[in-house]
Each structure stands twice: as C-alpha cells, then as structure tokens.
Structure 1
Amino acid sequence: MATPPSAGKRATAARLKHRIPVRVRHYWKLLASCAAAVVALIVLAGNVQVRPIVTSSSDGRSDDVTHNVTGSVDLFDNAVAHTVSITYSAAAYQRMMDGYIATGDKEYVRADVTIDGTLVKDVGLRLKGNSTLAQLTHKGKTRPFFGEGAEDTRGGPNAATDGRPAGGGQFPGGGQIPGGGQFPGGGLGAAGLGGVSLDSAKPEELPWLLSFDEFADGRRYQGHRQVAVRISGMGGGSTVLNEALSLAVIDEAGEPAQRYAYAGFQVNDRPVKARLLVQHPDANFADGIGDGVLYKSLSTGRFTYQGEDPTAYNDDYKQVNNTGSHDLQPVINLVKWVEQSSDADFDADLASHVEVESFARYVALQNLLLNFDDMAGPGHNFYLWYDLDTKRFSVIGWDYNLTFSGDAAQGPHDTISMGGMLGGGGFPPAGFTLPEGFTLPEGFAPPGGGNNAGGGAPGGIAMGNKLKERFLASGKFKNVYEDAYRELYRKIYADGVAVRSLDALVAALSGVKGYDGAATKSDADRLRSTIRQRTTALAKDPVINR
C-alpha cells in the first residue's frame, strides 16, 4: 500500500527535526529572540560610531608602581653633588645610533645606571629631542633638519671646513635661506636650535631620557618613571643654566614646575661631565599637582579641532595619568570651543573652561623669561592640566632650554622671537620654498598647512596657539594679564629672585664632578647681563608703572 504524500512529508520533517541537537530544540525560542535582537542592532545602530574610553597607552596613576627604588638621597636635592653613571653594550649603542640616522626612530638601549651609589639594572636609555637632534653626527653622517639623510662632507664629525659648525643637515650650498637671510652659525641644521654640535662618539654630551620601567614594568626611581638629561639652549650655553634658572624662578613664583638638579654624568668610563637632570612630567608629577588629568601636547600636534573621534588626536596629545577612568574628551571640548566660539562668547565663557588667573600667569612668565618655544612655539611645549573638581584647564610649561635669549627689551605685549631669528614676521621669510626633495621635520608644518597663526610665515614653522592668541587679543583680559605680569616682574626681577637663584645654581654646580669653571662663568655672566638688561628695560614700561 502506497504511503500518502502527507505522511511522507511528516516523516521527512521528523527526521530533520531529530538531526537538530536537543538543547537547540529546547531553547529555540530564546535563540530566535537573540538572533532577532542582533539583526535589529545591526539595522538600527550600524552607523553609530563607538568611541573608546581610553585613548592613550601612557602610564596611569602612581598606584600602578610595583617596585620603587628609594635610592640614597633625593635625586633633586640641589644641596647634594649628585652622580649618575651609565654602562651599556657598545654594540647595542651603535645599533641604536645607526637606526636613528637611518630612520629617525629613537629606540631604547638597555643600560645599567648607578645614581648616587644606587645601582638600577636594565634601565631604558634613548635619545631625546626633535630639532635638538639635528645637531647630531654619527660616523660622519647626520640626519638633517631637512631631508632624509646626508653625508657629512666637512672633514669628519668635528671638523667643519667651510666655516660652519659640524653636525646637522644643511640647505644645499650652505646655510643661506633661499630669498635672503642666514641661519645662526651658518645653518639651522648645524646648530639645531641650541647652537652646539653633537657627536655620537661623546655620549656624555647627548640629550637622553632615562626610563626606569621600559624593561621592568611598574618600576620607578623615587617615584619617577622617567628623568631627562638636558642639553644646552641658545641662552644657556653648555651648562644649561638658563633652564635651571627658569625652573627656579617659576617655582619661586608659586607656579607648577619640574624639579631639577646637576649631576656628574659618566657613560661607559668616558670623561665625567656636569649635566642638568630634569623631572619628566609623568604620573608622579601629576599626582603632585592635585586631583586631575594631565595631557602632554606633542611636537607633532596642533591646537585645532578635528572632530569628535579621539583617535584623530593621536599626533596631538598624550594622556599622562588616569588612563582607564578618563579620556581625551575634555581636551577635544576645549579645542572645539576655542576655535568655534565668537569673540563675545570667548570673553563671557573663558572662565568656565580655563583657570583665567593661572593662565595669565603662565603667559606672563613666558614673556618675562623670553621663552620663544612655549605653547605657541614650534615645539608646542606645554601640558594641559584638567582639574576634576573645577572642570577647568590650566597650562603647565615644559622645556625651558631656549629661555633668556633674544631681545631683553621686549615688552609685555611684544611677540617673543628666538634670538632674533624670527625678526618680526616669522621664519622662514615670506617667499621661502623648500629645495626640491626636502621635507619638513617632525613637529613642523608643510607649505600651506599647519597652524601658522602668531608668527609663522606660510610654508614655515608651525607656530601659534589659538587659546593664547585670543586671550592676549581680548580687551576683557588685558587687566588680568597685566596685573599678573606686573606682580611677576617685581618678584623675579625687581626683588632680585632671578639673580639670587642664578648665584645659588652656580654655587651648586661648582661642587659637581665634571664642573667646567670657565664655561660656567661665561654662561652665568651672559645670564646676569640679560637679567640686568631685562630688569632695566621693563622698569620703564607703562605696564609696570601703571
């Protein structure tokens, strides 16, 4: 007897049903609901951008420390003649230098560091700086300020045969700027922004960053994750007295400043040289300020709004502390508001975004110290501090090795120029174009791009900062700025804080191994002259005498 068609279909369905696992058959309604929910999410939220909470891989708060090396004495006690001795593999050092010249990457080499008698093994050591390293010569080669690499044809790393300092890349044909003018010392690459040449054969003279946790997670030295070994600037000579003096007077003025000390610095049994050590602004530094989030402005950064995606700002800011609990959104909000607010709104609402009195003091200090390379300079040297209680920002300075250079008579409302290099209209001059095949270095804008407000000529160094420019241009904040300027002038110059601080620094430096008495006297005399000229010139200014 033939099977009815309907019965055959039921039998087939039964066989297929039993091929489905029992658990699936039991929970098919739940699974169907989940599938429907997934489809709904895809349809309804498929175009919604999901933004990460954490946008920086930098270190978090100090409670991440797993091992704190206490040392024997406070590293930044200026009453102590500190010593720092570094040893590393010569082969590893050469590989690191070869890599930097070839690619520009600043890789860490593993080193053992003895600080004031305390040995710390496997410390990360790398080159530090951007334009500063345009001075560096390695095996007769440089990594020029402009371009991808160049042979040093001037007779070796220390023998300049054409009247220019050795080291650093040059424009073709020498230091002449197309269209007229010349860089100090014959070439920007020759002297970088510091006025001296550097040789990889003399590591005791190079700019370094010591990282205590690079090869040992969670390790600190006296709470410090990193320590910078600073190099000379235009106003500081070989002793970097200008940066130490700037940090001293900023601290005396009651503003946040990094700690510092001089130390006898030795590398692999080479001659000892007195060097300036400076606290690197890390999570430990942030914890000392208060309850807030610290953001570093990067040399490649711009103070411009680039949308709400925090990853668009990876080249602009680095979050230093509180990663995981806070993100970059406050900075994005600030930049957007500064860029897009009307003049009336800027005047009315600045105090809701920024600690106005603190910012006035920051801006006044940069002028008083003749600091060209501040938040509006080519290096974008500043940190943003976001107070979690007030929900407002303060600006903290960093990298003061170009202070006390330039025209000592520049007034409270004058734009500070770097040692006369910029003249009145910026650098390079109008009409300047890069030679064929040359590229601008990290931290500088290409022709027609970048933020040139505040002094940079089109196609030149990217300078300017919209927050600083709008603040100084606003009539509403003129009095608060001038009040801060007048108070700080009287403390730093009229009351003699700058001179006394310089005398104390010279006395401390004289007890450090590797001390060069002649260089220290020369640098100190030059600084005293600048302080005297600045004191006299500003004493006649209407802002001071109001």
Structure 2
Amino acid sequence: MRLRHRIPVRVRHYWRFLAGCLAFLLVLTVAVSTVRIRPYVTSGSDTGGDQVTQDVAGTVDLFDETVAHRIELVFREADYQRMLDAFYDEGEKEYIEADLVIDGTAVPSVGIRLKGNSTLRSLTRDGQSRPGAGGPGGQAGPGGRRAPEGRAEPGGQGAPDAQDGPAGQNGPAGQGAPAGGVGAPAGGVGVPGGFGRSSLKAEEPETLPWLIRFDEYVDGRRYQGHREIAVRVAGMGAGSTVLNEALALDLLAGAGEVAQEYAYTSFTVNDRPTTARLVVEHPDAHFAEDFDGPGVLYKSLATGQFTDQGDDPTAYADDFAQVTMKGSQDLQPVIDLIRWVGTASDAEFDEHLADRLDVASFARYVAWQNLMLNFDDMSGPGRNYYLWYDLGTKRFTVIGWDYNLAFSGDAAQGPLDQGRLGGGGFRGGGTQGPAGAGTNGGEQAAEPPADTTPPGGDAGRDGGPGGAGPGGAGPAGDRPQGAGPQGAGHALKERFLASETFRQVYEDAYRGLYQEVYGNGTALATVDAIGAVLATVDGYDAATATSDAERLRTLIRQRTESLASDEVVTRS
C-alpha cells in the first residue's frame, strides 16, 4: 500500500489508458520501424531560399577582379588546434569562429573551415600527414597500401582536386593530388603542362584552402549577397598563384557564360605573413541569380554517380545536393533525367534530348572543357558541375566550376579526344614539358598501377571502354553509365559526343570558341591582364608569378598552334 500511494492520483486513475498508449506505441515500433520514410515537398512554389536578414554592403565590390583586395582573419589558436584535431582524428572539417575584415569592412564572427578533399591530402602537421592520407612521409594509401616511390597510389595522390561532399564531408575516399609536378619537390609525380603544388602545412594557415561562411554564427547574414566565399589553392596542374583558374573564369565570363566571380587579394591570418591569394565565389543561392527566371540549382557531389537508383530521393544523397528552393521543389527532375539518359534508345536520345537539356549551351560546355584542357569536369573524378533546372522551360543547363586543374594537360589534345590526368600521358612514353612539348623539365607522365582505371578510361579519338567514339561512348547498353569517381565518365556527355545528330552542334560551338579564345589572342592577353593586377597585391611573389605566367603562355601558344590545323577548326 505504501508503494501504491507514492504513485500520483491522476496516474492511478488513468493507468489503463496510459498502458494502452504504451502498447500502441510498441505495436507501431515493431510494425513500422522498417518502413522507409520518403520526403515529399509540400508546395509547387517557384520561390524559396534562406531568409536574408543582414547584407553587409562593404566599401569595394569584392569580386572586382581589376583591383587588389585585402582580407584579414583573426581566430583563437586553441580553436584552430581543435579544428585540426577533428580533421586529423575523424576527417571532419569543422567550423571555427573568426573575425574578418574585407577591404576595410569588419565582419565579426564568421565561420571558417578547411576546404577540399584531395587538396588536403598533402596537409602536414608537425611534419606528419593525416593517417591514411597518402601525403608526404610515405603514408599508406587507402586500404593500407603504400604507393611505389614516385608513383601515385590508386585513389590516393594521383587523382585530382575533388570538391567537398555533402555537408562538408569528404568526397570519394582517396582522391588526392601529388605534391609534385613540373618543378615540384623531388618525389612528386610529373604532370605534363603542370606547374606543381607544394605540400600544405598546418603551421602556415595563410597558405591553406578555406571556406568562409558569413552566416555560420549570425543567422541570415550575407556579404554583398554572398553566403560563402572560397580561398583557393592550386590543383595538381597549377602554381601557387592559381593563374590557370583565374584565366578559365575570366575567359568564361568574357564569352558570356555563367561562371563564378573571382578576385586576387592579400590574405593575412593572425600575425602570420601576408600572402597573395585567389578568392572565388562559392556557388550558392546568390549564384543562381545569374539565371533568368525561376529555377532550381543542384550540385553534383564528388561521391556521385549519374545512375538510376530507384524512386527514393534519399538514394541519391551521395549524388546531388539541392542548393535552392528546398521545401518547394525536390530532386525528381534530376532523377527523371538520369533515368531517361540511361534508358532512351539512340533514336529517342537524338530526337528528344532538346526537350530536357539546353543542347546549344551543353555543346559549348563540352567544347570549353576540351579547349581549356580541363579533364576534371562533369566526367572527371571530382564530378565538378552543377545542374540548373529552368522551371519555365523544364530543361536543364550544365554549369561548370572548380577550374584549378584547367590548362594542365596535353596541348595536342584534339577536339574529339578525351582529356585525362596528365594530358593523356597515363601510358607513359616520351618526355614532356609544358603541354607535352618536350621542353622545360622533360618530366615523364605518371603511369598508374595496373589496377587503376585512368580518368576517361582508355578513350582517345578512337574511343574507350564500351565502344568507339569520342569520350569512350559506345552503343546504348554497352556503355559504362556514370562510372565511379576514380574511373570517371558521364553517360550524358558520352552519349552526346557519340551522337552524329549532335556532332555538328558540338563542332560548330568548338570552332567558334577556338577563334574567340585562342585564334584572336584573347587567352594570352588575359594572362597579361591578370598578371598586372596580381602584381599590385600585397604578398605577391614576383618570381613565382612570372614563372607560372610564362608556363601558362607557353601552353596557350602550343594549344593555339596545335588546334589551328585541326580539321574541326579549319572546316568551313
């Protein structure tokens, strides 16, 4: 009786009802726990996005690339070390709080974190690489395998700089870039046409790749409309000045293509030395404003495959991230496109692709990637592209980004050749300097282990896996659809290039862009213009910038000359 009276009166009066509720919950748990919960949007609205409560105007347009800028970061050393602990121990890229000054405008309490995946594989801390990163010091690659000296481990140092995966997580494990290259430290892998990249050191935060987020600690805040900006470092094919990426972005914008904005800035971290760095617009909701009319922006993830994985949108969580209109739109248009590309007959593909894709824009996209020797595009290991879905026309547009591996391949690559790591030098043979010209260093192309599939497969002008044709595309059904990140390949691009119907569209686009970029000298003039601005930035290293610029000019001259006699360019 004493125990009974300790129970509250209301509980004693309603114990049967409470017991019934508990029993019902138990039944639901047993019966429904294995049922997959599918997300559905609750509205068909063509509007959406995060609420902006504060937009810092600043004093200078951050992405005015014609002037030098200044960025200063101050953060607590203890926070920085804790961030490094999380990255080294768990592979997590956590934000820390920092105070920021941009061109004299103070922006307190921003979030900053390390950016990149393979870029960070060369990061050392107290001289030690992160366990399993395959960086300096001969660490074992994925699976505990150690790469032979002077050679990239498959899935390790040999792959390009991949983008971040969902929610800032790592992309495909083991995508890395060598610390070496032409003119790089001993032990690095030679990259024809490359500039090399030195190892990153945690003790030098002013040299690291950073993502700066303005609303991480202050909800709804933007800076000149931007939620995030990226402080870039070189990919495997570029020097520390990242001139190649600046050149690519400048050429794209000059031709009227949708491209990220960029600028050069002095960059100071705490009381460390000031360096000259490239900052780039990070594609977010503000980036989507470059398009006319309402639409949805989707980001392809480095872990992604362009393959049909059923009707459940959650099955595509590692493939695409929805950037805009969350809650009012969903991933279904992308799923429908993937399924159609994978199942349409060749005749249906030729007849109805234009119903689903802006074909003229896509032809230019593919031509640009070849012209700029950017093998790490939508079909590269990094899966570097966005999809814009126009809600009015119900058609997609493919948008490129992440060009720190552009202008780093074989200058002799033809319009119908498939680009690949090292400019097609995977099978060795011959020595190559910039763009495979046999000068300036005579580095030999990296030759991967036998069990590694090189980016783009074995495809050259005569095709690759699955049949003949540019891009390695064969008949539908025989083609490897959306190969994994290490193997590269993309069903949409491959089928497009293999189609006789779209061949003329592609070649016409290629011919026009060649004249616009190379034939009239624009590329060379742009290198000079970028270099002139860079020379005014505090922390500018004249010797390095001069060397990088001259290598880039050499590659451009060789590419211009090589393509000038190609039948695609000369055909009237």
**Same fold, TM exceeding 0.5?**
yes
Deviation at 1:151, TM superposition (A): 9.1
Give 1:522's aligned residue: 547
Give 2:216's aligned residue: 214
Residue 149 to residue 427, structure 1, CA distance change in 2 (3 Å): closer
Give 2:146's aligned residue: 171
User: Aligned residues: percent identity?
Assistant: 57
Measure the CA separation in 1 of the matches of 2:345 and 2:85: 51
SS at match of 1:237: coil
Q: How does 1:44-193 map to 2 (within 5 A)?
A: 51-54=38-41, 61=48, 64-143=51-130, 147=132, 152=137, 171-172=146-147, 174-176=149-151, 190-191=179-180
Give 2:514's aligned residue: 489
Q: How does 1:352-367 map to 2 (within 5 A)?
A: 352-367=355-370
Deviation at 1:188, TM superposition (A): 5.3
Q: 2:271 aligns with which of 265, 269, 272?
A: 269
Deviation at 1:177, TM superposition (A): 5.9
Q: 1:471 aligns with which of 467, 481, 496?
A: 496
Contact 2:72 2:102 in 1 (8 A): yes
Contact 1:411 1:538 in 2 (8 A): yes
Residue by residue over 1:406-440, the C-alpha shift from the partner in whole angstroms, topping out at 9 and shown as x without a partner, is 11011100011222475269997573279xxxxxx
Measure the CA separation in 2 of the matches of 1:424 and 1:473: 24
SS at match of 1:379: coil
Q: How does 1:235-384 map to 2 (within 5 A)?
A: 235-290=237-292, 291-384=294-387
Residue 433 to residue 384, structure 1, CA distance change in 2 (3 Å): closer
Residue 47 to residue 100, structure 1, CA distance change in 2 (3 Å): closer
Residue by residue over 1:172-197, the C-alpha shift from the partner in whole angstroms, topping out at 9 and shown as x without a partner, is 55344689xx969xx95545996321
Deviation at 1:502, TM superposition (A): 1.1
Residue 397 to residue 463, structure 1, CA distance change in 2 (3 Å): same
SS at match of 1:543: helix
Unmatched 5+ stretches in structure 1: 1-19, 22-42, 155-168, 435-442, 444-451
CA RMSD of aligned residues (A): 3.5
Residue 307 to residue 153, structure 1, CA distance change in 2 (3 Å): closer
Residue by residue over 1:313-361, the C-alpha shift from the partner in whole angstroms, topping out at 9 and shown as x without a partner, is 1111111111111110000000111111111111111001100000000
Residue 176 to residue 183, structure 1, CA distance change in 2 (3 Å): same
AA of the residue aligned to 1:174: E
Deviation at 1:143, TM superposition (A): 2.5
Deviation at 1:234, TM superposition (A): 3.6
Residue 421 to residue 322, structure 1, CA distance change in 2 (3 Å): same
Measure the CA separation in 2 of the matches of 1:394 and 1:344: 22
Give 1:498's aligned residue: 523
Measure the CA separation in 2 of the matches of 1:545 and 1:372: 24
Measure the CA separation in 2 of the matches of 1:520 and 1:175: 27
- TM-score by length of structure 1 reads 0.79
SS at match of 1:370: coil
Contact 1:258 1:278 in 2 (8 A): yes
Measure the CA separation in 1 of the matches of 2:327 and 2:394: 18
Give 2:450's aligned residue: 431
SS at match of 1:506: helix
SS at match of 1:126: strand
Deviation at 1:122, TM superposition (A): 1.0
Give 2:392's aligned residue: 389
Give 1:539's aligned residue: 564
Contact 1:433 1:459 in 2 (8 A): no
SS at match of 2:336: helix
Contact 1:430 1:458 in 2 (8 A): no
Deviation at 1:232, TM superposition (A): 1.2
Measure the CA separation in 1 of the matches of 2:251 and 2:211: 24
Deviation at 1:104, TM superposition (A): 1.1
Contact 2:215 2:222 in 1 (8 A): yes
Aligned pair count reads 469
Residue 459 to residue 171, structure 1, CA distance change in 2 (3 Å): farther
Unmatched 5+ stretches in structure 2: 1-12, 15-30, 160-175, 181-187, 429-444, 456-464, 473-479
Measure the CA separation in 2 of the matches of 1:392 and 1:465: 19
AA of the residue aligned to 2:512: E
Deviation at 1:153, TM superposition (A): 7.3
Residue 433 to residue 469, structure 1, CA distance change in 2 (3 Å): closer
